[in-house]
Structure 1
Amino acid sequence: MSLSLNQWTTRRWSVAEAVDGCVRHGLEAIGLWREKVAEQGLAESVKLVRAAGLRVSSLCRGGFLTAGGLPGEEGRTAFARALEDNRRAIDEAAELSAACLVMVVGGLPGVRPGEALPAGGFTRDLAGAREQVAEALAELAPYAGERGVKLALEPLHPIYCPDRAVLSTLGQALELSLPYPQEQVGVVVDTFHVWWDPRLFEDVARAGRRIASYQVCDYLHPLPEDVLLGRGMMGDGVIDFRPITQAVLAAGYAGDVEVEIFNADVWAADPDEVVATMRARYEDVVLAAP
């Protein structure tokens, strides 16, 4: 495995700055975000990455497929828009030769990330939302396969189930992936989201080569008021990384290991210092010897 910088860890950096930072710090791969790629320009981003000799370990993110669960015309329109946006994301991932397109599948229909519940216009139908994800995947997986892109379903910690991901466990994501060739649909193992799961090691072994991305960061305690920013540098929280890393390796994963951190203090720090710390913690914490 090789270390990759997920671009959101150094959020202030543009694609050009992040690519340059990876080269300076001796990294071989970068995980890109669509917003940053759009700011830089897709063609320019492709040019920068290739000129630097970097791999794109992932493109984040596709998904948010559940709005189609709203009733009537509103739901049908939302579903069509979601499919259209995800096809664009797949095309972008293909242009970047990304190892996978990370799919954050969406929360309850009508519930917006980080916002208070609307007075109306949302549903509590969790099972229906999960069915909507499966329906969208049936549309998108063949499209991705034709373009050589692997969709990587990312389960998120249950605290994000209402507004970001109705898939909360690796097992749930894996079950959705199984009807498709592993070249088309895989899963993400993100330590922040899955460290707590009592079935984690069983499901990692079951996933095998369907593991499309291994992302690492720590789970801080106590969590900040904005729980989205509760990710910390490895070693600053409660996760025991060594057994998870060993399980992912034993499952056959040989891809890059992305460090993806959402944290206000990390974002405010000097990005070069963040990457230097990231490299040291990767060696000392993520790859820690028994």
Structure 2
Amino acid sequence: MSRFSLNQWTTKRWSVAEVVDGCVRHGVEAVGLWRQDVAAQGLEESVKLVADAGLRVSSLCRGGFLTTGSPEALEDNRRAIDEAAALGAACLVMVVGGLPGVVPGEPLGTFSRDLPAARERVAEALAELAPYAGERGVRLALEPLHPMYCADRAVLSTLGQALDLAEPHPAEQVGVVVDTFHVWWDPQVLDQIARAAGRIASYQVCDFLSPLPADVLLGRGVMGDGVIDFAPLTDAVAAAGYTGDVEVEIFNADLWAADPDEVLARVRTAFGALIGV
């Protein structure tokens, strides 16, 4: 269980200070943090809390939303890189953005349907951001999202697409996220995980619920509560040489309403039974 990492949003009610305290009390050695929560706590205070507790920061979430091609997006990502560097995060998770003009949760207004152009904007932004990240010792981690999020959150839907964008850059600058919720369905996923050897920056686990809730963003479950067969994915990630922390990241309304200590205990038990690293 030494590689178990708690993504902060699995226990979303906890602030940075509270999640650090919870990890210490439960014997958890690593934590994945979110930028808005770090900002609410204060970056310097968050850095101190993590360091004083002796925790590893397995990821900072998130950078990205690059498909607008705007200077403001690039500047925000530079700030995110600086924050990840200050925290000593193993990677900065990049949710690259959907079609320009499509905003998560909002009605359609003026937007572009040009999906190839949106992906090209991501490539162009990476060409600017990867060297900046490299200079600061930060690894950008491209996260492909399930295709149902293609329009509004991520025009990268497969691990293969993420690798195509990562490979022009040094592996220490740009890697990929393997998130079971997003990739389990892909018939090419095991081959693509093997291809990702040396590029896996984060392995994140949770289950895919069926039926999905009305808000599909909250369709993640505790491992064992859904349809994913974890062993082949975990074995493939290990065979690809990944030895880093394994993050449990679950967005689920029932878990968010529950006592965070009980949630953490439950997900650790499921992790031990089904992930076992």
Length-normalised TM-score, structure 1 = 0.94
- Cα distance, 1:266 vs structure 2: 0.5
Output the amino acid matched with 1:52: A
Using the aligned pairs only, state the percent identity. Answer: 76
Matched, 1:52 2:41: no
2:237 corresponds to which residue?
A: 248
The residue that corresponds to 1:26 in the other structure is 27
Unaligned runs of 5+ in 2: none
Please tell me whether the aligned partners of residues 245 and 287 of structure 1 are also in contact (alpha carbons under 8 angstroms).
no
> SS of the counterpart of 1:282?
helix
Listed one character per residue, the Cα deviations across residues 24-57 of structure 1 (whole Å, up to 9, x for unaligned) are 1111100000000000000000000000000000
Residue-by-residue CA offset, 1:113-139 (whole Å, 9 max, x unaligned) = 122211xx2000000000000000000
Alignment partner, residue 136 of structure 2: 147
1:5 aligns with 2:3: no
Match of 2:87 among 53, 72, 96: 96
Q: Is 1:122 the equivalent of 2:111?
A: yes
Contact 1:242 1:287 in 2 (8 A): no
- What residue number does 2:67 align with? 66
Counterpart of 1:200 in structure 2 is 189
AA paired with 2:210?
A: H
Secondary structure of the residue aligned to 1:247 is helix
Q: CA RMSD of the aligned region, Å?
A: 0.8
Counterpart residue number, 1:14: 15
1:85 maps to 76
Which residue identity is paired with 1:228? L
In structure 1, C-alpha distance between the alignment counterparts of 2:251 and 2:107, rounded to whole Å: 21
- Contact 1:16–1:45 (Cα < 8 Å) also in 2: yes
- Counterpart-to-counterpart distance in 2, 1:115 and 1:234: 30
- Residue 235 of structure 1 aligns to a residue whose secondary structure is coil
- What does 1:176-195 align with in structure 2 at a 5 Å threshold? 176-195=165-184
Please state how far the C-alpha of 1:287 moved relative to its aligned partner.
Answer: 2.4
1:67 is paired with a residue of what secondary structure? coil
Q: Partners of 1:168 and 1:92 in 2: how far apart?
A: 27
1:152–1:187: 8 Å Cα contact kept in structure 2?
Answer: yes
Name the SS for the 1:224 alignment partner: coil
Q: Which runs of 5 or more residues in structure 1 are unaligned?
A: 69-78
Q: Deviations over 1:142-199 (max 9, x none)?
A: 0000000000000000000000000000000011000111100000000000000000
Aligned residue for 2:196, secondary structure, equals helix
Structure 1 position 269 matched with structure 2 position 258: yes
Q: Is the Cα–Cα contact under 8 Å of residues 219 and 237 in structure 1 kept in the other structure?
A: yes
The one-character-per-residue Cα deviations of 1:260-288 (angstroms, maximum 9, x if unpaired) are 00010010000000000011000111229
Query: For 2:57, what is the secondary structure of its paired residue?
Result: strand
The match for 1:278 is 267
Tell me, in whole angstroms, the C-alpha distance in 1 between the residues paired with 2:204 and 2:105. Answer: 22
Runs of 4+ in 1 over 2 A off after TM superposition: none
Tell me the number of residue pairs that the alignment of Structure 1 and Structure 2 aligns: 276
Tell me the SS of whatever aligns to 1:174: helix
Per-residue Cα deviation, 1:6-30 (whole angstroms, up to 9, x for no partner) = 0010000000000000011111100
Indicate the larger mover: 1-10 or 33-42. Answer: 1-10
Give 3-state SS (helix, strand or coil) of 1:197's partner: coil
Say which SS state the counterpart of residue 112 (structure 2) adopts: coil
**Match for residue 199 of structure 2 among 210, 220, 223:** 210
Name the SS of the counterpart of 1:138 in structure 2. helix
1:104–1:155: 8 Å Cα contact kept in structure 2?
Answer: yes
Distance in 1, Cα, partners of 2:267 & 2:36? 23
